[in-house]
């Protein structure tokens, strides 16, 4: 599905702010209905991810670099995956949960397709609420 136009949103987290919480708050305030993370760099003091095929999250305390953050965002629901590295350079990645706390900062760039709407609904193809894409009325 193609759409015309592109908006770009940029914001920065301060120390102690929750990464997922800040993204969701920004998306709601900006009324973004169809967006995606273009890039994110920064650092964390708490890492909280749901790893592949696990039912619950895993949390770690320490210092971590944000290596990658990807996903779709909408005021109707977000789906985000984070990869972070430890001081030794070991990386871990998974589904971003609440409670990932910024250490020094996180610089977030979000792209928005104004002609689309993203929702998350169970369409019967999986057990999960999956991305549904519609043209904006």
Residue 99: pLDDT over 70: yes
Burial (CB count <10 Å: 0-12, 13-18, 19+), residue 31: exposed
| Segment (H or E) for 43 | strand 35-50
The CATH number, out of the four listed (3.40.50.720, 1.10.3720.10, 3.40.50.300, 3.30.1330.80), of the domain defined by the range 7-135 = 3.30.1330.80
Residue 2: pLDDT over 70: no
Are 41 and 20 within 8 A, CB to CB?
no
pTM for this predicted structure: 0.94
- How does pLDDT run across 54-83, given as a tens digit for each residue? 999 999 999 999 999 999 999 999 999 999
**At CA 75, angle to CA 109 and CA 116, rounded to 5?**
80
Q: Whats the size of the chain, residue-wise? A: 137
Are 32 and 115 within 8 A, CB to CB?
no
Compute the mean pLDDT over every residue in the chain, rounded to the nearest whole number: 96
Which backbone phi and psi does 26 adopt, to 5 degrees?
-65, -45
In sequence order, the β-bridge partners of residue 72 are 36, 79
- How does pLDDT run across 45-60, given as a tens digit for each residue? 999 999 999 999 999 9
């Amino acid at each position: 599905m193609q759409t015309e136009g592109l908006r770009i949103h940029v914001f920065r987290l301060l120390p102690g702010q929750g990464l997922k919480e800040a993204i969701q708050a920004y998306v709601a305030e900006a009324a973004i209905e169809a967006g995606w993370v273009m890039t994110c760099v920064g650092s964390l003091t708490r890492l909280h991810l749901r790893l592949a095929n696990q039912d619950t999250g895993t949390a770690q305390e320490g210092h971590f670099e944000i290596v990658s953050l990807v996903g779709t965002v909408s005021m109707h629901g977000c789906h985000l995956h984070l990869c972070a590295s430890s001081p030794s350079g070991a990386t871990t990645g998974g589904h971003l949960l609440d409670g990932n706390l910024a250490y020094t900062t996180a610089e977030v760039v979000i792209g928005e397709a104004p002609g689309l709407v993203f929702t998350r609904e169970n369409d019967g193809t999986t057990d999960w609420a999956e991305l549904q894409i519609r043209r904006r009325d």
